[in-house]
Amino acid sequence: MMHTYSVMDLREKMPKLVPPISLWIGIFGVIAFAINFYVTPEAFMRPWIVVATALTIFLMFLVAWFPRLAWLGCLVLYGYMMAQPEIGVPALILMTPIIGTVVAYRGYIVAAVVGTLFLWYVGSVDVFYGRYLPVDWLAFALSGLILCLPVAIGYSLYRSGWQQKQLKKQWDTDVKTRRETLGRILHDSVASSLTSLIMRLEAMSMQKSLDDETRQEMVDLAEQARLSMKEVRELLHTLSTDDSPRPHEPAPSVVAQVQLMAGALKEHGFTVKISGNISDLRLTADDLVVLQEVLRELSTNIVKYAEPASTVVINFADTSASVMLKISNVPSTGQHRTLLTSGMGIPALSQVMESMGGSLAIVSSLEQWTTELDIPRECGE
């Protein structure tokens, strides 16, 4: 069976095919010596040149893990090649500054500079023949410039990486300081205010002059404030540690959300009738959260404005492109429960529904209030 790979599959497999960065110096050395062998194969006919080439390649692979050891071995090999002109292959000599660049990049600046000065001096004199000073000072200066350039490049790369680490360290310190400051502000303002609010509500709920309904409202408000206090404590804990914030629970499905809405309305004394069914309705996790907030606000509005103990009808109308969710209730003629609110009005709900590709419409009369939610079948895709 033949397998076909898409562009995405190739992109996923490419990192596995590319060698690690630590191997590229050695791979570069292998390529350089292969080119040198192709151009001048006669230079590699002597055994000592083959040995020196193999040692140089080995050191180029070794420098990624043991920079100073590889650098020391490279200096010894370079000095030996200078003492034995018959094995002084140019490719072997040119590879030495590359290893010095890696040593400087890894932060061993003193070792890189001292080794480079050694290379500069040994490559310009001939100690074995009693020549301790350079003959051509111009060539001596040019060779020094050529040898110092790779070390300068390595040091600049090291300096750049060091500065990035310092900036990251400073950034982490600033973030930690801001988190501590924000946590202290939250504790001193929000947490203290919520604690005071809970104590006052609990104290007021124990007054004998209050009727049962008002007392229950205060108990519920105190419980809500207590839950808010718990959320604030969890936020303070997240700010004071490096732990990741706890993941949010996924929002329930559309049917489950409607059932939860019906259950909440029944707890407030309403009779709920659900009719119709839906199929193949796919919503993303974000869209389910949006719908959950919309249904929560609609149920709050029903509790506030609907006739107490009346009937609420929830109907699903399945179409080819969307699902129409209709929620009907009888409006109340008495006093509204203004304490129940989440702060989202009908215009805000309409904008929220539009953000997920749907719509919200209100059909109202003196006898009935109907909210129509048009939910796209493939919302968010």
Q: Does residue 330 belong to any structural domain of this protein?
A: yes
Six-digit token string for 307: 């006739």
Given this model, what pLDDT does residue 312 score? 92
Given this model, what pLDDT does residue 334 score? 61
Span 210-233, average pLDDT: 76
Q: Does residue 163 belong to any structural domain of this protein?
A: no
Shared-domain flag, residues 259 and 188 = no
Distances from the Cα of 18 to the Cαs of 7, 11, 23, 24, in angstroms?
A: 16, 11, 10, 10
Given this model, what pLDDT does residue 319 score? 74
End-to-end CA distance of the chain: 33
Q: Is the pLDDT of residue 6 over 50?
A: no
Q: Identify the sign of the CA torsion 274, 276, 280, 283.
A: negative
Q: Does residue 248 belong to any structural domain of this protein?
A: no
According to DSSP, the residues that pair with 314 across neighbouring strands are 274, 327
Of the pLDDT bands very low, low, confident and very high (cuts 50, 70, 90), residue 375 is: confident
Most confidently predicted of 64-68, 135-139, 351-355: 64-68
Most confidently predicted of 18-22, 213-217, 294-298: 294-298
Q: Is the pLDDT of residue 260 over 80?
A: yes
Shared-domain flag, residues 190 and 295 = no
Q: Is the pLDDT of residue 222 over 80?
A: no
Q: Does residue 276 belong to any structural domain of this protein?
A: yes
Q: How far apart are CA 311 and CA 270, in angstroms?
A: 6
Span 223-250, average pLDDT: 64
Q: Tokens 């660049």 identify what position?
A: 101
Q: Is the pLDDT of residue 14 over 60?
A: no
Q: How far apart are CA 349 and CA 356, in angstroms?
A: 11
| pTM exceeds 0.85 | no
Given this model, what pLDDT does residue 22 score? 60
Of the three residues 85, 112, 135, the one that is the final residue of a domain is 135
Q: Is the pLDDT of residue 1 over 50?
A: no
More confident residue, 249 or 233: 233
- Do the Cβ atoms of 105 and 154 come closer than 8 Å? yes
Shared-domain flag, residues 291 and 367 = yes
Q: Is the pLDDT of residue 340 over 60?
A: no
Q: How far apart are CA 319 and CA 323, in angstroms?
A: 6
Q: Tokens 């959260």 identify what position?
A: 289
Given this model, what pLDDT does residue 338 score? 41
pLDDT-above-90 percentage for the chain: 3
Given this model, what pLDDT does residue 17 score? 45
User: How many structural domains comprise the chain?
Assistant: 3
Shared-domain flag, residues 293 and 340 = yes
Of the pLDDT bands very low, low, confident and very high (cuts 50, 70, 90), residue 339 is: very low
Span 207-225, average pLDDT: 77
Q: How far apart are CA 75 and CA 83, in angstroms?
A: 12
Instruction: Say what the alpha-carbon torsion angle 61, 64, 67, 73 is, to the nearest 10 degrees.
Output: 0
Most confidently predicted of 47-61, 73-87, 190-204: 47-61
pLDDT digits (tens, 9 = 90+) for 83-122: 776 665 566 677 788 888 888 888 888 988 898 888 888 8
Shared-domain flag, residues 279 and 349 = yes
Q: Does residue 15 belong to any structural domain of this protein?
A: yes
More confident residue, 72 or 203: 72
Paired sense of beta strands 271-275 and 311-318, if any = parallel
Q: Does residue 249 belong to any structural domain of this protein?
A: no
Shared-domain flag, residues 223 and 262 = no
Q: Is the pLDDT of residue 154 over 80?
A: yes
Query: What DSSP letter does each residue of 242-262 carry, written as one string?
Result: SPPPPPPPPPPPHHHHHHHHH
Q: Is the pLDDT of residue 4 over 70?
A: no
Q: Does residue 42 belong to any structural domain of this protein?
A: yes
Domain range for 229 is 176-240
Q: What is the CATH number of the domain that holds 287?
A: 3.30.565.10
Paired sense of beta strands 322-329 and 359-364, if any = unpaired
Picking from 299-313, 326-340, 367-381, which range would have the lowest pLDDT averaged per residue?
326-340
To the nearest whole number, what is the mean pLDDT of the chain? 76
Shared-domain flag, residues 289 and 320 = yes
Span 309-319, average pLDDT: 87
The full length of the chain comes to: 381
pLDDT digits (tens, 9 = 90+) for 184-214: 776 666 766 777 777 777 777 777 777 877 8
Of the three residues 196, 213, 240, the one that is the final residue of a domain is 240
Span 23-45, average pLDDT: 76
Of the pLDDT bands very low, low, confident and very high (cuts 50, 70, 90), residue 36 is: confident
Given this model, what pLDDT does residue 250 score? 62
Q: Is the pLDDT of residue 378 over 70?
A: no
Given this model, what pLDDT does residue 11 score? 47
Cα 65 → chain centroid: 29
Phi, psi of 375 (to 5 degrees): -110, 115
